[in-house]
């Protein structure tokens, strides 16, 4: 599998894991230091940062996730052991623009280390 295919698979597993509230799938693809960074999270003002354990707990408890989303990968930029992926997602309730940083981890697998997202509720 080519590098870009491995990155696409990691991103797909991340999105599908959230859609299905599959914390086992998510745990495999998220780096131990994974963070969600959001500006205007759920209507709040300012920047919110969520660590991996809180993120997985929120998925498990249904606080977010659990809705299927249509995913479009707009770009993948790779520089040796790091990558940036821009996604557009759409669920029945929201539109998302998501910039995802990945790193080639010590186990030679691509892991998400940061998800920077903007979520807009559908009107």
Reported as a single tens digit per residue, the pLDDT across 82-114 is 999 999 999 998 899 999 999 999 999 999 999
Dihedral angle at the C-alpha atoms of 6, 4, 86, 28, nearest 10 degrees? 10
- Which pLDDT band, with edges at 50, 70 and 90, does 18 fall under? very high
- Taken in order 13, 17, 23, 24, the sign of the CA dihedral is negative
- Taken in order 23, 17, 4, 96, the sign of the CA dihedral is negative
Six token digits for residue 66: 């659990």
Asked whether the predicted pLDDT for residue 121 surpasses 90, the reply is no
At residue 39, the pLDDT reads 76
Percent of the chain predicted with pLDDT > 90: 76
Q: Which domain holds residue 82?
A: 3-121
Number of domains comprising the chain:
1
Looking up residue 86, the CATH number of its domain turns out to be 3.10.450.50
At residue 42, the pLDDT reads 66
Pairing of strands 110-121, 47-51: unpaired
pLDDT tens profile 39-56: 766 667 788 899 999 999
The predicted model scores a pTM of 0.92
């Amino acid at each position: 599998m080519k590098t870009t295919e491995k990155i696409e698979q990691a991103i797909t597993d991340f999105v599908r894991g959230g859609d299905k509230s599959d914390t086992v799938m998510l745990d495999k693809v998220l780096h131990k230091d994974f963070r969600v960074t959001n500006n205007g999270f759920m209507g709040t003002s300012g920047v919110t940062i969520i660590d991996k354990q809180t993120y997985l707990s929120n998925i498990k408890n249904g606080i977010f996730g659990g809705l299927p989303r249509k995913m479009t990968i707009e770009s993948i930029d790779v520089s040796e052991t790091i990558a940036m992926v821009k996604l557009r997602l759409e669920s029945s309730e929201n539109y998302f623009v998501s910039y995802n940083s990945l790193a080639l981890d010590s186990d030679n697998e691509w892991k998400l280390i940061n998800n920077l997202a903007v979520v807009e509720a559908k009107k």
